[in-house]
Chains A and B, each alone.
Chain A
């Protein structure tokens, strides 16, 4: 038998779920010479590649282009009868998704991972039952990684039917932009779809229960994005409570109260529910295997090395909680595979997971918000560098937003970094690296940044946190 299996089991490791957490774990296991199987009930690539990160980013690229073209007079570009049609953009988005999904299949082959089609359930003691078309078979391994992901949450007063009341998935399969849309939930997913539909001409209203959009971000980031969205003629209600939604054949009636307690009723074409996700932790045999869940949220409880309470069973990605982000899941996948193979002993640094929202302006952050840093009693200095001070941003005509750097005064550590504006989601990586290497703010500045680029603003933000930004 190939690989390192001891002959008593079919595989060294079985991975249940082929999303970013699972397929990356499988690739790494294969690289390390383990005999691995990846059980996937649907399409390889999971939510991320098929109905999450990738197709939304394809649509957001389309939306950005639409916005730029509408505004292209200054570049000497003009149109007669400008139209923006969501149908072809959706088609393009599907093509990108299926290309990447096939890519995953290739990567598994390349790393000699068996792709097992079917639905997996733990049977306890290293065994997994795989069900496909009503037939069940049993495979065994020394270790098992659970990577079953998550699904959209339905609320009692907001029942997803994907007809009139969509989840993100429904919103990804519309051929046409409707006239009116209410987005409930102003997290990353809600804000991204608001952006897309707004660009294609839909009148978008965003309703958020907490006191600001992107409530996990720094307050200043939330404010900057809310302002930008309002300029794009979107309505935003924060601290608002949805009371009921009634779906009819031709539309939806949604009732909510705003921050002052005033009642509103809107008749719209569609409602998008983007109120969060719940883990796929039922009906996968966790009880049979004795795997414990977290008290809150029914996520699989793991430690920083992705171990569950049962030796030999690991969990990665959305089903294991913490940040529900693809890159977090991928990192966990690598850590799990390496621990199983007995190489490397690093763990996941949950304090250094970047957060990104790809609407326009883009928002990205890592580490603590200013508020959190102050609550923790840290002695901090905050620098904020506006894009208006950056030549490249002005040249590109995109100067909304800022880079904000929070520095711990004692050791000059980067406590947090927050970016709103052009390519924020790319630029944040420099702060992730700085934090990972435990760089001080001074060092970010001393490393020379090319001119004229957006990256100069990273150094300026760092200088700002030392009270001496140059171009402001």
Chain B
């Protein structure tokens, strides 16, 4: 059971929107959960098949408990189910989901449950443990301060695994202290990476690709996001008639300067100005505080060959479409060549991800911490809509905002989206 509000301790399943055996994609809504505050959507954090549901409709589970398992089709989850322990196993065995007391719906959390399981399950084919004459570790140069190295040694931490906050990622004293504190703290819901107890099938239908540094970073960042960040989602459907006209006119004017603005550039501008009206959405979650910004530094998600990077358009609220367009193009170009300077992809206060060019109608984007919000922009498509009792065809675009609930409440997110929608439906309003 995921914490869907900062104060939630327990959640009640109102309704399962997926049933056992249904395929699940990341971002799918699995269930409606009633929390201490409201009924929220529980979103899948991984993909696979909803293999087992432990908590039936109407039943409740404390935060942190396994409430279902998502796993690949055909993967043996028997050991996992068994590993969930006495009471849970019984509940699961009885398949009487409604009487179950168990919890979480995430693949990750289910995976976490594997770890204790691995230690109690019989090991059918015990493989020898590491030989005593271990090969000496290859000395790699770790960027760390001498004091940090000693602290790490003392605390039993491997300095190479720590994230440095000094210049160039240098691990300094405070990083080790923070890691030591975290290690000492009681285990949280955020799971350790699972060690698979199952041997890999010995066929050649797959290929193992080593993670690039970029991929590792993406994974770590997503983990950071999907783990502790309680997302919720809001969608608006926007009439783009005037936005398209405005863009056309702007481009006629920009033509003289050789610039050309895209719809995304217009979205960047509109969102940035809207954020200055709704600073509660232009904010960072900082653990013990929330930082609201008066300026909008917009991170623009750019796909690069082995991942994703979000270069930042600073002060987008103050820039013209021509400038935004030039900057985005320039930053994206260099992002693809991996030539961005760190300050060019850090410090954003809000992000925008656009998959419209791939024909994606609507999707949800993952928050880029410490930011509290991101909008996912879909394609502009001609769609029939009912206006004043008549069905007409209009260019429409869907915008879905992911909000970090620790920072943004539903109504705040909704107000921001309403402003954004009004700007896109009447671009002249941006000038007001």
Q: What residues on A are CB-neighbors of B347 within 8 Å?
A: 342-343, 345
Tell me if B318 and A4 are in contact (CB < 8 A).
Answer: yes
Tell me if A411 and B151 are in contact (CB < 8 A).
Answer: yes
Tell me if A438 and B145 are in contact (CB < 8 A).
Answer: yes
B1 adjacent to chain A (CB < 8 Å): no
Tell me if A4 and B173 are in contact (CB < 8 A).
Answer: no
Q: What residues on A are CB-neighbors of B346 within 8 Å?
A: 345
Partner among A6, A412, A443 whose Cβ is within 8 Å of the Cβ of B317:
A6
B182 → chain A, closest Cβ, in Å?
A: 19
Q: What residues on B are CB-neighbors of A74 within 8 Å?
A: none
Tell me if A438 and B148 are in contact (CB < 8 A).
Answer: yes
Tell me if B318 and A438 are in contact (CB < 8 A).
Answer: no
Q: Can you name the residue of chain A whose Cβ is closest to the Cβ of B318?
A: A6
A439 adjacent to chain B (CB < 8 Å): yes
Partner among B151, B294, B314 whose Cβ is within 8 Å of the Cβ of A312:
B294
A311 adjacent to chain B (CB < 8 Å): yes
Tell me if B318 and A440 are in contact (CB < 8 A).
Answer: no
Q: What residues on A are CB-neighbors of B294 within 8 Å?
A: 142, 311-312
Q: What residues on B are CB-neighbors of A8 within 8 Å?
A: 318
Per-residue B-contact encoding for A317-344, CB less than 8 Å = 1, 0 else = 0000000000000000000000000111
B146 adjacent to chain A (CB < 8 Å): yes
B interface residues, how many (CB within 8 angstroms): 21
A343 to B343, CA, bound (A): 6
Q: What residues on A are CB-neighbors of B318 within 8 Å?
A: 4-8
Q: What residues on B are CB-neighbors of A6 within 8 Å?
A: 315, 317-319
Once A344-B343, A438-B145, A438-B173 are accepted as A-B contacts, the answer to whether A412 and B150 lie under 8 Å apart by CB is yes
Partner among B146, B148, B172, B295 whose Cβ is within 8 Å of the Cβ of A443:
B146
Once A343-B343, A344-B343 are accepted as A-B contacts, the answer to whether A4 and B147 lie under 8 Å apart by CB is no
Tell me if A342 and B146 are in contact (CB < 8 A).
Answer: no
Q: What residues on B are CB-neighbors of A344 within 8 Å?
A: 343
B25 → chain A, closest Cβ, in Å?
A: 36
B278 adjacent to chain A (CB < 8 Å): no
B297 adjacent to chain A (CB < 8 Å): yes
A413 adjacent to chain B (CB < 8 Å): yes
Partner among B146, B154, B317 whose Cβ is within 8 Å of the Cβ of A439:
B146
Per-residue B-contact encoding for A447-463, CB less than 8 Å = 1, 0 else = 00000000000000000
B339 → chain A, closest Cβ, in Å?
A: 17
B342 → chain A, closest Cβ, in Å?
A: 9
Per-residue A-contact encoding for B315-349, CB less than 8 Å = 1, 0 else = 10111000000000000000000000001001100
Once A342-B314, A343-B347, A439-B145 are accepted as A-B contacts, the answer to whether A142 and B295 lie under 8 Å apart by CB is yes
B24 → chain A, closest Cβ, in Å?
A: 39
Tell me if A413 and B315 are in contact (CB < 8 A).
Answer: no
A155 adjacent to chain B (CB < 8 Å): no
Q: What residues on B are CB-neighbors of A7 within 8 Å?
A: 318
Tell me if B343 and A439 are in contact (CB < 8 A).
Answer: no
B366 → chain A, closest Cβ, in Å?
A: 23
Q: What residues on A are CB-neighbors of B314 within 8 Å?
A: 4, 342
Partner among B147, B292, B297 whose Cβ is within 8 Å of the Cβ of A438:
B147
Q: What residues on B are CB-neighbors of A439 within 8 Å?
A: 145-147
A437 adjacent to chain B (CB < 8 Å): yes
Per-residue A-contact encoding for B119-154, CB less than 8 Å = 1, 0 else = 000000000000000000000000001111011001
Tell me if A342 and B297 are in contact (CB < 8 A).
Answer: yes
Q: What residues on B are CB-neighbors of A342 within 8 Å?
A: 295, 297, 314-315, 343, 347
Q: What residues on B are CB-neighbors of A4 within 8 Å?
A: 314-315, 318
Tell me if A437 and B145 are in contact (CB < 8 A).
Answer: yes
B103 → chain A, closest Cβ, in Å?
A: 38
A411 to B317, CA, bound (A): 48
B302 → chain A, closest Cβ, in Å?
A: 19
B324 → chain A, closest Cβ, in Å?
A: 13
Q: Can you name the residue of chain B whose Cβ is closest to the Cβ of A408?
A: B147
Q: Can you name the residue of chain B whose Cβ is closest to the Cβ of A4?
A: B315
Q: What residues on A are CB-neighbors of B172 within 8 Å?
A: 438
Q: What residues on B are CB-neighbors of A437 within 8 Å?
A: 145-146
Q: What residues on A are CB-neighbors of B173 within 8 Å?
A: 438
Tell me if B150 and A440 are in contact (CB < 8 A).
Answer: yes
B331 → chain A, closest Cβ, in Å?
A: 14
B291 → chain A, closest Cβ, in Å?
A: 10
Q: What residues on A are CB-neighbors of B145 within 8 Å?
A: 437-439
Q: What residues on A are CB-neighbors of B151 within 8 Å?
A: 411
A443 → chain B, closest Cβ, in Å?
A: 6
Interface residues of A in 46-82 (CB under 8 A from B): none
Partner among B147, B295, B317 whose Cβ is within 8 Å of the Cβ of A440:
B147
Q: What residues on B are CB-neighbors of A438 within 8 Å?
A: 145-148, 172-173
Q: What residues on A are CB-neighbors of B148 within 8 Å?
A: 438
Per-residue A-contact encoding for B263-301, CB less than 8 Å = 1, 0 else = 000000000000000000000000000001011010000
A6 to B314, CA, bound (A): 12
Q: Can you name the residue of chain B whose Cβ is closest to the Cβ of A343?
A: B343
A142 to B315, CA, bound (A): 11
Interface residues of A in 107-129 (CB under 8 A from B): none
Interface residues of A in 143-192 (CB under 8 A from B): none
Tell me if A413 and B343 are in contact (CB < 8 A).
Answer: no
A311 to B292, CA, bound (A): 9
A440 to B148, CA, bound (A): 10
Interface residues of B in 133-185 (CB under 8 A from A): 145-148, 150-151, 154, 172-173
Q: What residues on A are CB-neighbors of B150 within 8 Å?
A: 410-412, 440
Tell me if A413 and B147 are in contact (CB < 8 A).
Answer: yes
Q: Can you name the residue of chain A whose Cβ is closest to the Cβ of B165?
A: A345
B214 → chain A, closest Cβ, in Å?
A: 22
Per-residue B-contact encoding for A415-458, CB less than 8 Å = 1, 0 else = 00000000000000000000001111001000000000000000
A440 to B146, CA, bound (A): 6
Q: What residues on B are CB-neighbors of A142 within 8 Å?
A: 294-295
Interface residues of B in 37-93 (CB under 8 A from A): none
Q: What residues on A are CB-neighbors of B146 within 8 Å?
A: 437-440, 443
B319 → chain A, closest Cβ, in Å?
A: 8
Q: What residues on B are CB-neighbors of A440 within 8 Å?
A: 146-147, 150
B326 → chain A, closest Cβ, in Å?
A: 14
Q: What residues on B are CB-neighbors of A412 within 8 Å?
A: 147, 150
Per-residue A-contact encoding for B396-424, CB less than 8 Å = 1, 0 else = 00000000000000000000000000000
A439 to B346, CA, bound (A): 28
B192 → chain A, closest Cβ, in Å?
A: 28
A280 to B385, CA, bound (A): 64
Greatest chain A CB density within 10 A among B145, B147, B343 is at: B147
A8 to B294, CA, bound (A): 14
A342 → chain B, closest Cβ, in Å?
A: 5
A234 → chain B, closest Cβ, in Å?
A: 41
**Extra 14 A-B pairs, beta carbons < 8 Å, given A410-B154, A438-B146:** A4-B314, A4-B318, A5-B318, A6-B317, A6-B318, A7-B318, A342-B295, A342-B297, A342-B343, A343-B343, A343-B347, A345-B346, A411-B151, A411-B154
Q: Which residues of B contact A (CB under 8 A)?
A: 145-148, 150-151, 154, 172-173, 292, 294-295, 297, 314-315, 317-319, 343, 346-347
10 contacts between A and B (CB under 8 A): A4-B318, A6-B317, A311-B294, A342-B315, A343-B347, A437-B146, A438-B145, A438-B172, A438-B173, A443-B146
Sorted from nearest, which 6 A-B pairs have the closest CB atoms? A6-B318, A438-B145, A438-B147, A411-B150, A440-B146, A343-B343
